[in-house]
Amino acid sequence: MTELVFIGLGLNDDKGITLKGLEETQSADAVFMETYTSRMPDFNMERFEAECGKKVQLITRRDLEEDSGKVVLQAAKAGKAVFLVPGDPFIATTHVTLRIDAEKMGIKTRIVHGISIVSAIVSLSGLHNYKFGKTVTVPFPDNFSETPYNVIAQNRKLGLHTLCLLDLRAAEDRYLSIKDALKQLQLVEEKKKLEAVTPVTVAVGIARAGSSKPTLKAGFVKDLVDWNFGEPPFSLIIPGDLHFMEIDALIAFAGAPGEFRRLAK
Amino acid sequence: MTELVFIGLGLNDDKGITLKGLEETQSADAVFMETYTSRMPDFNMERFEAECGKKVQLITRRDLEEDSGKVVLQAAKAGKAVFLVPGDPFIATTHVTLRIDAEKMGIKTRIVHGISIVSAIVSLSGLHNYKFGKTVTVPFPDNFSETPYNVIAQNRKLGLHTLCLLDLRAAEDRYLSIKDALKQLQLVEEKKKLEAVTPVTVAVGIARAGSSKPTLKAGFVKDLVDWNFGEPPFSLIIPGDLHFMEIDALIAFAGAPGEFRRLAK
């Protein structure tokens, strides 16, 4: 059998994979894993290899981008290869090219989904999924861009929430903090003055989504910049119009102040 | 311990749960499951109960909505209760109220995420996650609404893709088909003429996302209405502007015709 199965590892640790994902890994001829698109803080490789009964080969960004995933494709040509990816395999676009290349080589591909940071954050917040607009990534200050602010402003004009993923360089152990993300957004606010991210804008900061101890804090931007969220990774939601049920959820699950009740629309 | 753990079952069958979710279920004092918000076509209860070593109590919509989840909250007050939910526990808003009620009663709540239909569909399509706008549900014709069309039109104006969940009544085994969803959207098109869903609009139909044999078909609306997608559940994407990499993905994974290449923006 010549086959390449992309399997999502989910979030945080080696127990975020599904039973189906584990079974597929147990029956593979070769197992690869990349860990550079995301951080899995509590992933224990020894425990995972014992669980799946396979030796896992780590794949670097270089292996995939410069060598076009040759080692993975060769293994898939020879038998059943499994490629393990943090979160869900194709929510980040990095691996779509590898999948297209495999199909072009006549290698059958399949997906076993994993939990994506995108749905985990929406779920944790208690905000309504159908009220989220376009998602955006806030880059590090050395890649400063006005795009995240523009996306938030556009979504807010439509009454929609914005999920902001905060940039990370897992290999360098660097994570954009909620404080630094808010500062960047406020810099653009000072210039554009669309009232999209002011000190009294509501925001929700989330740390370690998908772990057993996530931190959520809903408050005004001016309060969140000084909040201690603990360890990374971090994410941020800038809500649009809030329904009273969403406000109840932010008060119950994210420590929002009671004065949020007057914001219901 | 007085605790209520919401656990996502993921998609399709009893192996869509994570290792973490299974462990939490194995150590629970009481296990509940609801199956009315979604369909899990290949879920085998006998196999699942053997795997987790617990008897699972099925919860109806009536138990939750009329009796306010009393049976679940009582069990959580007395020990560790687990509430199993298809997909991810809070992507549908139905269970947020139960969680708020629990917290108000002093019951600690936690979430073990599951795979959501929302991220699975995005992942399967190969389209870029950050290019999706607001999500919408297309109702059955007897609940006809212009909202889905309006959301698609608004998203397209911004160049964004729209994920359309198609309504279902799992208890009645009724599922809105891709054909009927497209017909409804075209009815509104005939009235509003915003060119959001015409016979030559690009669409992607998806059946059985998260199963081992999903069906994807990208094509023009006029072709998709006659496509045989097989068994439910169904979903639909109406893309906005397409990047050439996204078109390559639709050709490789969703059988899009080669003429799609001229649509790249």
State mean pLDDT over A12-29: 97
β-pairing, B30-34 vs B3-8, is unpaired
pLDDT of the residue at B65: 81
Predicted pLDDT at B147: 97
CA distance A156 to chain B (A): 12
Does A13 have pLDDT greater than 90? yes
**So what's the pLDDT on residue B41?**
85
Return the pLDDT at B170: 78
- The vertex-A133 CA angle with A146 and A95, nearest 5°, equals 80
Other C-beta atoms within 10 Å of B150: how many? 15
Confidence at residue B35, expressed as pLDDT on a 0 to 100 scale? 82
Chain B residues inside the 8 Å CB shell of A13: 20
State pLDDT tens for residues B50-77: 999 999 999 988 888 888 789 999 999 9
**Per-residue pLDDT, B84:** 97
Q: Are residues A249 and B96, on separate chains, in Cβ contact within 8 Å?
A: yes
pLDDT (tens digit, 9 = 90+) per residue, A194-251?
999 999 999 999 999 999 899 999 999 999 999 999 999 999 999 999 999 999 999 9
If one looks up domain A117-263 in CATH, what number appears? Answer: 3.30.950.10
Please give the share of chain B, as a percent, with pLDDT higher than 90.
85
Nearest CA in chain A to B132: A134
SS3 state of residue A136? strand
Contact yes or no for A10 and B88 at CB 8 A: no
Query: CA nearest B170: which of B57, B65, B38?
Result: B38
* Mean pLDDT score across all residues of chain A: 94
Count of beta carbons in the 10 Å neighbourhood of residue A145:
13
**Percent of chain B whose pLDDT exceeds 70:** 100
pLDDT tens-digit readout, A21-54: 999 999 999 999 998 777 788 999 999 999 999 9
* Residue A169 pLDDT level (bands cut at 50, 70, 90): confident
How many angstroms separate the CA atoms of B197 and B153, rounded?
Answer: 8
Check residue A179 and give left, alpha or beta (phi > 0: left; psi -120 to 50: alpha). Answer: alpha
Residues 6+ apart with CB under 8 A from A127: A161, A204, A237, A239, A242, A246, A249, A250
Question: C-alpha angle A23/A24/A27, rounded to 5°?
Answer: 90
Over residues B133-138, mean pLDDT: 97
**What confidence tens digit (pLDDT) does each residue in B9-46 have?**
999 999 999 999 999 999 999 999 998 777 788 999 99
Do the beta carbons of residue B31 and residue B54 sit within 8 Å? yes
CB pairs below 8 Å between A and B: how many?
Answer: 163
Give the residue from B34, B166, B10, B13 showing the smallest Cα distance to B87: B10
Cis peptide before A233 (omega within 30 of 0): yes
For B248, the closest chain A residue by CA position comes to A100
Instruction: Say if residue B90's pLDDT is above 90.
Output: no
Residues of chain B in contact with residue A103, where contact means CB-CB under 8 angstroms, are: 252-253
Kindly indicate the confidence band of residue A175, based on its pLDDT and cuts at 50, 70 and 90. Answer: very high
A124-159 pLDDT, tens digit per residue, is: 999 999 999 999 999 999 999 999 999 999 999 999
B129–A120: do the CB atoms touch at under 8 Å? Answer: no
Output the pLDDT for position A12. 92
pLDDT, tens digit (0-9, with 9 covering 90-100), for A69-105: 899 999 999 999 999 999 999 877 778 989 999 999 9
Question: What pLDDT is recorded for position A215?
Answer: 97
Written as six digits, the tokens of A190 are 């000072």
Task: Kindly report the number of other CB atoms within 10 A of residue A2's CB atom.
Answer: 15
Can you give the pLDDT at residue A193?
97
Q: Distance (Å, rounded) from C-alpha A173 to C-alpha A218?
A: 26
Least Cα separation, residue B149 to chain A (angstroms): 14
Q: Write the residue in A10, A103, A110 that is nearest to B252 by C-beta.
A: A103
B42 contacts B15 by C-beta, under 8 angstroms: no
Domain boundaries defined on chain B: 3-112, 117-263
Q: Quick one: pLDDT band at residue A67, thresholds 50, 70, 90? A: confident
Picking from A96, A123, A248, the nearest residue to B245 by CB comes out as A96
Q: Which fold has domain B3-112?
A: Cobalt-precorrin-4 Transmethylase; domain 1 (3.40.1010)
Task: Determine contact, residues B36/B60, Cβ cutoff 8 Å.
Answer: yes
**Whether complex ipTM tops 0.85:** yes
User: Minimal Cα distance from B117: which residue of A?
Assistant: A119
